[in-house]
């Protein structure tokens, strides 16, 4: 399989190293860089928080965090996207709940009031909170510069988990801690669920920490068991440089909003739990945690009539999505991208009809993607309340698909499309690798 070129060959990689050398007065060769890729979830949307089985992979774009250990307890951070400087000491005890999940555009460079607290630093504080909560001894701060891919924050590619993981890996490296991916999955859960208050599952950080180029990551969010499934046989007739038969296409809606300021995410989680509670009561298992993975499919079939229509739709999404994931893993392992793609599109439809997580522009974009040349399948990325849609597309038809999508979306959403750089409306990516420190 072809090598993943990002980030070593990117200009950004060297800019970050120079920047940290300047900030710290150290030599550029002392600067370490955390590579924390964005993730996609072809199948398994919105079932991670219910203990479902999900599939994921990373792309060849993401967060880079250049850093050096500060040689004392001080943390000093700057960002390529956000204004202001974040300063704190690792001796502080970060208090959960005070921070809101912030990665939105309101604090982008140019619109940030220097009087405001630099809320983008909450992820670094959250990482410190998680590491300390699990008993790690953090004495060493970092001097760092963090940068995301231009225009990709709050796009449903999980930039927030990528940022959380980046800070965890930097603190661990600076403090000579050896931490397994499984432990880091839990630490990132503490950042998101406890420190920032989002009731999400472990899909995002599992994908970022476990993925391997050329494989689909499968995660059982209840048992925490995972495996990597090798992808379709590479076709030697394809002409793209990575020699992969497919590309991952990202089509942006122009809508950005972080998940905490949109109450949709947490309220859907609460609805799933309510449905689980009713179904568990119906079969005399009310002592179990009310999550849908604790409900047997037969119990769901027998008692779904007891759910009100909204709750019934959420449960239907959960059970049907779990089945799609299982079928999708098989299709992927057999190299059947047509079948894999159909399941992705069916998952997208269930998100619209059963989970009701889309919004008009994203639904329009989803439909356009389904019609685009060479597309195997498409769905919303991330929570689906804003951001982008992803598609798996035949490698050789990716550029035709991009042109088609740009043209069609500009017609149905001229205002949103105009806000985006024409080149930024659709991005064609390759699969990526797991997070690591270079």
How far apart are CB 236 and ligand GLA at their closest, in Å?
A: 34
Between 250 and 282, whose beta carbon lies closer to ligand GLA?
250
Q: How far is the CB of 173 from ligand GLA (least distance, A)?
A: 25
* CA 107 – CA 416 distance, rounded (Å): 20
Count of residues near ligand GLA by CB under 6 A: 12
Question: Judged by CB under 6 A, which of 201, 232, 358, 387 binds ligand GLA?
Answer: 201
Among 70, 158, 293, 364, binds ligand GLA (CB under 6 A): 158
205 forms part of the interface with ligand GLA (CB under 6 A):
no
Question: How many of the other CB atoms lie within 10 Å of CB of 324?
Answer: 22
Q: Largest alpha-carbon pair distance within the chain?
A: 67
Stretch that binds ligand GLA, among 39-47, 82-90, 238-246, 335-343 (CB under 6 A): 39-47
Torsions phi, psi for 213 (to 5 deg): -55, 130
Q: Does 164 bind ligand GLA (CB under 6 A)?
A: no
| Residue with smallest beta-carbon separation from ligand GLA | 200
Q: Which stretch binds ligand GLA (CB under 6 A): 18-26, 172-180, 200-208, 246-254?
A: 200-208
Of 20 and 161, CB closest to ligand GLA:
161
* 204 belongs to the catalytic site: yes
Question: Which of 60, 172, 183, 204 touches ligand GLA by CB under 6 A?
Answer: 204
Tell which one of 48, 183, 321, 394 touches ligand GLA (CB under 6 A): 48
Task: Give yes or no for residue 206 binding ligand GLA (CB under 6 A).
Answer: no
- 383 in contact with ligand GLA (CB under 6 A): yes
**What are phi and psi for residue 220, nearest 5 degrees?**
-90, 110
Q: 49-88: which residues touch ligand GLA (CB under 6 A)?
A: 49
- Examine residue 354 and tell whether it contacts ligand GLA (CB under 6 A): no
Q: Which stretch in 201-209, 237-245, 290-298, 333-341 sits in contact with ligand GLA by CB under 6 A?
A: 201-209
Task: Taking each helix axis as running N to C, give the angle between helix 309-333 and helix 337-353, from 0 to 180 degrees, rounded to the nearest 10.
Answer: 170
Distance, CA of 289 to CA of 294 (rounded, Å): 7
Residue 46 interacting with ligand GLA (CB under 6 A): yes
- Minimal distance in Å, beta carbon 368 to ligand GLA? 21
Instruction: Find the binder of ligand GLA among 124, 203, 393, 398 (CB under 6 A).
Output: 203
157 binds ligand GLA (CB under 6 A): no
* Count of positions (residues) in the chain: 438
| Least gap, CB of 189 to ligand GLA (angstroms) | 9
Residues 361-380 that bind ligand GLA (CB under 6 A): none
Q: How far apart are CA 31 and CA 214, in angstroms?
A: 29
From the list 42, 126, 148, 382, which residue makes contact with ligand GLA (rule: CB under 6 A)?
382
Q: Is 172 in the site for ligand GLA (CB under 6 A)?
A: no
Which of 41, 142, 174, 280 touches ligand GLA by CB under 6 A? 41
Site residues for ligand GLA, 102-131, by CB under 6 A, read none
Q: Are strands 142-147 and 74-79 parallel, antiparallel or unpaired?
A: parallel
Query: Closer CB to ligand GLA, residue 46 or residue 125?
Result: 46
Quote the least distance from Cβ 382 to ligand GLA, whole Å: 4
Segment near ligand GLA (CB under 6 A); pick from 41-49, 135-143, 226-234, 362-370: 41-49
Q: Quick check: 200 binds ligand GLA (CB under 6 A)?
A: yes
**Token pair of 417, please?**
């499309």
Which residue among the candidates 60, 153, 188, 204 is catalytic per the annotation? 204
Q: Is-contact 368 70, C-beta < 8 A?
A: no
Q: Which residues are catalytic?
A: 204
Which residues would be at the binding site for ligand GLA (CB under 6 A)?
A: 41, 45-46, 48-49, 158, 200-201, 203-204, 382-383
């Amino acid at each position: 399989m072809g090598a993943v070129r990002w980030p070593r060959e990117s200009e950004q990689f060297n800019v970050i190293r120079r920047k940290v050398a300047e900030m710290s007065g150290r030599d550029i060769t002392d600067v370490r860089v955390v590579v924390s890729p964005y993730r996609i979830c072809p199948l398994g949307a919105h079932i991670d928080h219910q203990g479902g089985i999900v599939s994921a992979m990373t792309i060849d774009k993401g967060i880079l965090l250049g850093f050096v250990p500060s040689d004392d307890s001080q943390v000093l951070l700057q960002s390529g996207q956000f204004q202001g400087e974040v300063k704190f000491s690792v001796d502080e005890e970060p208090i959960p709940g005070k921070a809101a999940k912030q990665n939105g555009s309101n604090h982008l460079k140019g619109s940030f009031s220097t009087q405001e607290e630099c809320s983008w630093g909450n992820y670094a504080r959250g990482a410190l909170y998680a590491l300390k909560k699990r008993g790690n001894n953090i004495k060493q701060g970092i001097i760092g510069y963090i940068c995301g891919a231009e225009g990709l924050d709050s796009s449903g590619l999980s930039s927030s988990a990528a940022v959380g993981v980046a800070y965890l890996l930097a603190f661990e490296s600076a403090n000579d801690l050896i931490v397994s991916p499984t432990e880091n999955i839990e630490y990132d859960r503490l950042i998101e669920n406890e420190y920032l208050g989002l009731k999400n599952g472990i899909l995002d950080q599992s994908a970022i920490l476990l993925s391997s180029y050329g494989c689909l990551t499968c995660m059982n969010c209840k048992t925490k068991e995972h495996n990597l499934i090798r992808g379709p046989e590479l076709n030697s007739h394809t002409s793209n440089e990575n020699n992969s038969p497919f590309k991952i296409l990202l089509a942006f809606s122009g809508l950005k909003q972080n998940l905490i300021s949109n109450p949709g995410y947490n309220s859907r989680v609460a609805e799933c739990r309510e449905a689980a509670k009713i179904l568990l009561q119906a079969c005399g298992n009310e002592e179990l945690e009310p999550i849908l993975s604790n409900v047997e499919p037969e119990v769901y079939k027998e008692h779904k009539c007891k759910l009100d229509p909204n709750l019934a739709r959420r449960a239907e999404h959960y059970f049907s999505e779990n089945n799609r994931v299982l079928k999708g893993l098989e299709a992927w392992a057999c190299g059947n991208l047509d079948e894999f793609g159909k399941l992705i599109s069916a998952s997208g439809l269930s998100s619209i009809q059963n989970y009701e997580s889309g919004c008009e522009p994203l639904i329009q974009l989803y439909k356009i993607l389904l019609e685009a040349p060479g597309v195997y399948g498409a769905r919303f990325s991330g929570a689906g309340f804003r951001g982008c849609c992803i598609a798996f597309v035949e490698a050789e038809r990716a550029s035709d698909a991009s042109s088609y999508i740009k043209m069609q979306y500009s017609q149905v959403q001229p205002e949103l499309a105009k806000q985006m750089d024409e080149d930024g409306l659709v991005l064609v990516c390759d699969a990526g690798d797991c997070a690591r420190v270079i």
